[in-house]
Amino acid sequence: MQTSLWLALAGTGVLISLTPGAGAINTMSNSLNSGFRRSIWGILGQQTALIIHILLAALGVGVLVSGSPLLFNVIRYAGAAYLVYLGIRQFMHKPNLEQSVVESLRNEPATSMFRRGLWVNILNPKAIVFFLAFMPQFIRPEQSLLPQYLVLTATVVLIDVLVMWFFFAAAAAWFQRFTQNARGQTILNRVFGVLFVAVGVMLALIH
């Protein structure tokens, strides 16, 4: 995988992981209720779900796209356009103070936290859309596929573990208060909206 493409992948991975969503809320809830160290079990469940998404995309969409350069470009530009759309929608989204972090029991078993993390990401539309629609943008069909998928998987999983554990879990209390404030939600929506648009434009320009 060429350096510029890997940097685009890493940048997109950081952006997706940092965007507040079901996985982030689950991680903050685990950290607040069961402690920073034990929150890793929920994060590992979420990463297992990510690997499943990647495997399904590699076995289906990846094989189909590898045989059609035209389809590859159609998906790439459609994915970039969808990122821009998500950015605009995120930027315009109004704060919602009725949403709350999911409560979890104290001293919850590790297996329970793992299972919840798995299902949170398996059913997360953000993860499904990302891997099924955007993964082909980071794969070059004329090159060996297996090494590219391994690099992609390792990059995405490592970034998500670091972001979930050392950002959302470690700063759970502060971040939770910030997102429950109307002004804070507005700032986050606009920042991530701009970042989505920037990444979409960047992906459209990379060949």
**12-34 tens-digit pLDDT:** 788 878 876 667 777 877 787 77
Does the pTM of the predicted model rise above 0.75?
A: no
78 near 133, Cβ under 8 Å? yes
Note the residue count of the chain.
207
Between these two residues, 107 and 116, which has the higher pLDDT value?
116
Q: Tell me: the pLDDT tens digits for 133-186?
A: 667 777 777 778 788 888 888 998 999 999 998 888 887 766 556 656 677 778
CA dist., res. 45 & res. 49, Å (int): 7
28 near 168, Cβ under 8 Å? yes
Range of the domain at 141: 3-205
Give the pLDDT of residue 178.
Answer: 62
Give the pLDDT of residue 105.
Answer: 43
Average pLDDT over residues 36-65: 81
Q: Look at residues 129, 127, 115 and name the one whose alpha carbon lies nearest to residue 85.
A: 129
* Whether the predicted pLDDT of 50 surpasses 60: yes
CA dist., res. 201 & res. 67, Å (int): 25
Give the pLDDT of residue 100.
Answer: 43
* Whether the predicted pLDDT of 120 surpasses 70: yes
Count of structural domains, the chain: 1
